[in-house]
Amino acid sequence: MKKIVRIARLELNILFYSPIAWFLLIVFLFQCGLAYTNALENPLTTQELGGRGLRYLVFLTQRTFAPPFGVFSTMTRNLYLYLPLLTMGLMSREISSGTIRLLYSSPIKVSQIIFGKFLAMMIYNLLLIVLLAVVAVFALVNIRSADAGLLFSGLLGIYLLLCAYSAIGLFMSCLTAYQVVAALSTLVLLAALSYIGAMWQDIDFVRDLTYFLSISGRAEHMMSGLITTKDILYFWVIIYMFLGFSIYKLQSGRESKPALVKAGRYILITVSGLAVGYVTSRPGLIGYLDVTATKSRTLTVNAQKIIKETGDEPLEVTTYMNLLDSRFWYGLPNQRNTDLTRWEPYLRFKPGIRFNYVYYYDSVPNRNLYKYNPGMSLKALAERYALTSKMDLRLFKTPAEIRKMVDLSREQGRYVMQLRYKDRTTFLRLFDDPAVFPSETETGAALKRLLQAKMPKIAFLGGELERSIDKAGDRHYKILTNEVVFRYSLVNQGFDVETISLKDQDIPKDIATLVIADPKVSFDTASLMKIQQYIAAGGNLLLAGEPGKQAVLNPILQSLGVQMMDGMLVQPNKDFSPELIQPFLTPAVAALTKGLHKDAEDSLCVTMRGAAALSYNTDGPFTVIPFLMTDGKFCWNKKVKPNEEEIESTENRSGPVMSAGQLTYSPAEGDQNAPLPAVIGLTRTINGKQQRIVVAGDADFLSNAELGRTNLRACNFDFSTALFSWFSYGEFPIDTSRPKGKDNGLSLTNAGMTSLRILLLGILPGFLLLGGTVLLIRRKRK
C-alpha cells in the first residue's frame, strides 16, 4: 500500500507541476459558477417580481441542480473533455520516455503501478468535486431549506463518473507512447460507451448487455437524488474492467505468453465484469436510497400501498401494439429498456412483474390513413408499415388472430397495456396529451381495479333526453366519463360508468351515485317514485338542470329543500356571451381536494353556459354547503329568462346595464343582484352513512364543450373530478400528490447576485490562478 501511495504522490507532483492540471481546475470552477448563477437568474427574477409567480418557486434545489437542465447536467456534459487531457500522459509518458523499463526492473508490481496512477486521478477528481461542492455550499446558503440530500447524491454520482472516465483514460494511455493519440482514443471510447446503449436494441439478449454497458445517463439517478446499487456497481464494474485491462496490458510487456492466454485474460475480465453488472441490475437485487427531502424519486405513499397489496402473487403486463397506430414506435423492440425504465419505480416494490409484448395489425379510426392510401387493403397497408419499420410482418398477428386473443374493441386500435393479476384484467392506456404515458394516478387506479371486485360506479340517467355519456357533441358528457384517450376521464381514474333508464329498470343499489343531467321532459310517476325512494334510502345524487326546465327537476328538489329559481343568471362581459357565468369556488369546496385548493388560490372560476340560481332552506334534514357562488357584482339573476336578441345585443359591458335593447337589471321585475349559489352540496347521515347530494343550476359545466374550453382560465375539470371523488368518499381518483418542498425561496437579491457572480467567476478562479502561477514559477526557479 505504501508503494501505491508513493506512486500516487509522485504522479500528483507531476500533474501540479504542469499548467494543464491548474488550467482545468480554473476552467471547471468558472463553469460551475457560471452554470449556478445562470440557473438562479429566472427564480430570482420571479421572486423579485413577486405576486402570483411566487407559488411556482418550488423545488428550487432540483430545478437548479438536477437533470435535465441543472448545474450537475451542465457539468457532466463537459467532463469527457477534461479527463483525457489528464489521463493521456499517465502511462504514455512512461512508455515514450523509457522510464517504463525502470519500473519493470524495480521491485514494484504492475498492479501497484496502475493502482498508484489511478489513486492519483481519484485524488484529482476529488479536488474537482470539492470545487463543485463549493457551489453546493453556496446553494445551501442562497436557497432557503435547500435539499442537502440531493446535492450530496449528485456530487457522489459525478465523482464516480469521473473515476470511471479516469480508468478508461488510464487504459488508453497504456496502449500507446503518444499522448495525443491516447487522448483521442479516450474520447472515441467514451463516445462509443455513450452510444452503445442505442445499438442492437432489437435483439433481446444483446439489448440488455449493450444497455448495461452504456455510460450515458448513468449518473442521472444520483444527480436527481436517488442512489441505487445498480448505478454504483456499474461504475465499479467499469473501473474494475479497465484497470484490469491496464494491468494485463503492462504485464504482457514484461512476459512472454501465447496470444490465446493473453486474449483469455481480457475475456475473463470482460465476462466477469458483465456477469456481475448484469446480475446486480436485475429487479429484486437492486437497492434504492431516496435522499431527497420529499422523497420525490419514490412512489407516493398511496401508490406504494397499492402495489404492496398485490403481495407475492404474479403481476403481468401485456402490451398490445397496433402496427397502424401512430404510437406504434413506442413499442418497437429498441424501446423495451425505455419501457422498463418507466416501470422501474414499481419494480422497486414488486420486482416480479412480468412483461409481454404482442404485435398485431388492425384497423384504426384514422381517416388520413385511408385517404392517402386509396385502394389499399388492410394487409397491404400493414406490409408497407412493417417495411418502413424494418420488421417482419410474420411477427404480427392478423386482425382475426388478435380478436380471438383479446377484446380490444373499446381501445380504438391504440397502444394499450393489459394488466393481469390472478383472474382479473384491466387496461392501462396512453393518452392524447404531452405526457402520453399514465402517471401514478392512472396506474394506481388500474392496479386497484385488480385488487377489489367492486369499483365505484356512476349511473347516468337516460330516457328523458338527458346528456349522453357516449356522444361527443358539445352538450354531452363523453369526455368526462368514458373517453379512453383522455387521462382525466372517469373510466381512467378508477370509476365505472353506465347509462340506465327508469322506464324498464330500477336504480341499482351498488352505485356510488346517480346522475340526472338536464332532463328535457318530465318524469312519469313510476320513475319519479323510484328516484324519491332512492333518495330516501340514502343514495348519493347529482342533479344538474338548466334555465327554463326548472319545472322538470323541482318536484325532486322539493324533498331536499332546494329550488331552481325562475329566470337565468347573466354576466355581461366584453369578451363572452352574457349567459356564460363564472362563479367562484367557496372555501368549503376548495377543501375537497388539493387541486381545487390550488385553483382557489389562483382565483380560477368554473364556467357555466346558461345557469339557474338556486334557493334553499336550512330547516330541513340536510346540511347545505354552497359549492359555487356568483360574485354579486357583475352577475345577477334575470327573473325573466332573456331572449336570444337580448343576449346577442348585450356586449362590451362588465356590469348591470341600462341601455335599450340590451339586458337590463330590473329589481321591479324581480331581478336579484346579490351573491347567489349556482351549485350546492347537501349532506345528512342515514343508515350509518353520510348521504351526499349535489344540485347544480347548470348541466353544461360538465359538458364536452366546457371541459374543452381553452379561451378562459377555468377549473371545470378539477371541480368535476372533485365532485366524483366526494361521492366516492375519497377512494378515487388515487391521491398521488406530493408534499411541497421547503426550498421555495432565495435568500438573495439582485445586488447579492452581482456579488455572487464576482466571487464565483472572478475572485475564486483568480485565487486558483494565482496559486498555480506561484507554484509553477517556484518550480521553474528550482
Average pLDDT of the chain, as a whole number: 87
Rg (CA), the chain: 34
Q: What are the tens digits of pLDDT across the range 213-250?
A: 788 778 889 999 999 999 999 999 999 999 999 988 88
The top-scoring range by mean pLDDT among 103-107, 191-195, 356-360 is 356-360
Query: Residue 414 in contact with residue 327, Cβ under 8 Å?
Result: yes
Q: Which three cell numbers stand for residue 177?
A: 507512447
| pLDDT reported for residue 654 | 47
The C-alpha cell of 340 is what?
422498463
pLDDT digits (tens, 9 = 90+) for 275-323: 888 888 888 889 999 999 999 999 999 999 999 999 889 999 999 999 9
Place of cell 477528481: 125
How far apart CA 245 and CA 170 sit, in angstroms, is 10
Give the separation between CA 448 and CA 445, rounded to whole angstroms.
5
Q: Please name which of 693, 719, 700, 730 lies closest in space to residue 589, comparing C-alpha atoms.
A: 719
CB contact at 8 A, 608 and 581? yes
How many angstroms from the chain centroid is the CA of residue 199?
Answer: 27
Question: For residues 481 and 460, is the Cβ–Cβ distance under 8 A?
Answer: yes
- Residue 261, CB-side half-sphere exposure with 13 Å CA sphere: 7
Helix (H) or strand (E) holding 173: helix 148-174
Task: Give the integer Cα–Cα distance in Å for 42 and 69.
Answer: 13
Determine the distance from the C-alpha atom of residue 677 to the mean position of all C-alpha atoms in its chain, rounded to a whole number. 37
Interval 410-434: pLDDT, tens: 888 899 999 999 989 999 999 998 9
Q: What global pTM score does this model have? A: 0.86
pLDDT in tens, 464-483: 788 999 998 999 999 999 99
Judged against a pLDDT cut of 60, whether residue 549 lies above it is answered with yes
DSSP per-residue string spanning 233-295: HHHHHHHHHHHHHHHHHHHHTSS---HHHHHHHHHHHHHHHHHHHHHHTSTTS--EEE-STT-
* Residue 345 contacts residue 439 (beta carbons within 8 Å): no
Write the DSSP assignment of 477-512 as a string of letters: -HHHHT-TT-TTSGGGTT-EEEEEETTTSPPPTT-S
Residue that has been written with the C-alpha cell 498508484 in this structure = 116
pLDDT of residue 656 exceeding 80, the answer is no
Q: So what's the pLDDT on residue 202?
A: 64
Average pLDDT over residues 747-767: 90
* Closest-CA residue to 163 (of 211, 115, 208): 115
Is the pLDDT assigned to residue 353 strictly greater than 50?
Answer: yes
Dist CA 88 CA 718 (whole Å) = 59
Judge if the upstream peptide bond of residue 67 is cis by omega within 30 degrees of 0: no
- What are 386's three cell numbers? 412493417
Burial 171-205 (b: 16+ CB within 10 A, else e): bbbbbbbebeebbebbbebbeebeebbebbbeeee
Residue 643: pLDDT band (50, 70, 90) is: low
For the beta carbon of residue 49, count every other beta carbon within 10 angstroms: 10
522 near 675, Cβ under 8 Å?
A: no
- 579 is written with which cell numbers? 349567459
